[in-house]
Amino acid sequence: MLSTKELEVFKWLKEKNAPLKIRMEVLKAFELNQLLIEFDKRIMNYEKIVGISLEGSILASFAETHAKGHFQKNDFIHTSELIK
């Protein structure tokens, strides 16, 4: 179901005599956006169920170290170097 703002977009497209193909592409974009929102809600729910948190994780440590400015420009290895 489309929101009020989405309906306003379609009304505007109709007023501007937008081709049907354009209106269909906009509809697909709105539907994809809604799908992504639903996926995000499910992921957040699974995170709550399994108790996932960044606290104590490698990612949190990385973020904390980076925030303190401890990394230098040459501390990172480009992925292409790992293939060598």
Render pLDDT for 36-82 as a digit per residue (tens, 0 to 9).
Answer: 999 989 988 887 777 665 555 555 555 655 556 555 555 444 444 44
Q: Which amino acid is at 49?
A: I
- Residue of higher predicted confidence among 11 and 79: 11
Q: Contact, 54 vs 60, CB < 8 A?
A: yes
34 φ, ψ to 5°?
A: -65, -40
Q: Which domain holds residue 71?
A: 4-83
| In the predicted structure, residue 6 carries a pLDDT above the cut 60 | yes
Q: How many domains is the chain partitioned into structurally?
A: 1
pTM of the model: 0.53
